[in-house]
Amino acid sequence: MNGITLKQSLLSAAAAAALLAGQAVPAHAQSADALRRENAQLRAQLEALNQRCGVPAPDDTGALERFGDIEARLDSIRAGERGRGTMQVTVTMTLRNVSSQPMVLNYEHGSFNATDSNGYGYRLFGGQGKHNVKGIPIASGNQVDPSFTLLPGRSSPVTFIAQRVMSEGQTVGNRFDISSSFGQYQDLGQGRLRRMQTFPVSFKDRSVTSGGIATGLGGRTDQTVENAAGRLLDRLLK
């Protein structure tokens, strides 16, 4: 069970227990009225936190999109914190050649873009090279790498690693728009290649599949959720 599911289960249990608040509660050192007021405050706090946690979006990756002679499947969007204030998004997709001819493919330099549901954009960090574009060569200007050939009916995964430095108060969204372009080239021999066509691949409004940051809640708020739920449960189950 991941952190989001655990917190939501705890919130659900606390909310159910809160329905018992109108029944008898021990007075201890406080009056019944004071206990009811405190329980009402705790329920309000839990409800507010539950609204902020939200419900995780269904995993809608794996859907296929057709772009001419290329079929693309979005395998995963993983988001997490790389360092202080720096968020990293790793996108993996699988390209399939649905034509009857082999394809020499390159990723088109500068074409990748990831934008989350809060409107924040993520770019390939440290320039664009093998450290952040994996599984396919990169075409840049007149520089094309003919080493990657996708045979008819065959598939190959491609991974992009993008980052964004977040300002104070900014949080990562839980859904993304992803786009990138792939060029098909013809090998003319003697080191010459000609671009035949470009495949603009895009996925709209896709959910984060892992990383545990889709809620945009920090550790302090997570602890507040657990404390509030625990206090209410302890109070009502005595």
Decide if 103 is inside a domain: yes
Number of domains in the chain: 2
Q: Which of 74-78, 140-144, 214-218, 231-235 has the lowest mean pLDDT?
A: 214-218
46 and 81 share a domain? Answer: no
Whether residue 59 lies inside any domain: the answer is no
pLDDT of residue 206: 94
State whether 15 and 124 are in the same domain. Answer: no
| Same domain? 69 vs 169 | yes
Asked whether residue 170 falls in the same domain as residue 75, the answer is yes
Residues of the domain holding 113: 64-207
Residue 227 falls inside a structural domain: yes
Is residue 153 domain-resident? yes
Nearest C-alpha neighbor of 49 from the set 80, 19, 87, 4: 4
| pLDDT value at residue 83 | 78
Q: Decide: 79 and 214 in contact? Cβ < 8 Å.
A: yes
pTM of the model: 0.63
Q: What is the CA radius of gyration of the chain?
A: 25
CATH number for the domain harbouring residue 187: 2.60.40
- pLDDT tens by residue, 5-27: 445 555 555 555 544 444 444 54
Of 163 and 187, which is predicted with more confidence?
A: 163
What pLDDT score does 63 carry? 67
Residue 212 lies in a domain: no
Examine the pLDDT at 138 and tell me if it is beyond 90: yes
On whether both 186 and 92 belong to a single domain, the answer is yes
Rounded to whole angstroms, the Cα distance separating 50 from 76 reads 26
pLDDT above 90: residue 126: no
Are 189 and 96 in the same domain?
yes
Residues 72, 94 contacting (CB under 8 angstroms): yes
Phi, psi angle pair for 12, to nearest 5°: -65, -45
Nearest CA to 70 out of 167, 136, 14, 130 is that of 136
Residues 169, 84 share a domain: yes
Give yes or no: residues 169 and 110 share one domain.
yes
Amino acid identity at 165: V
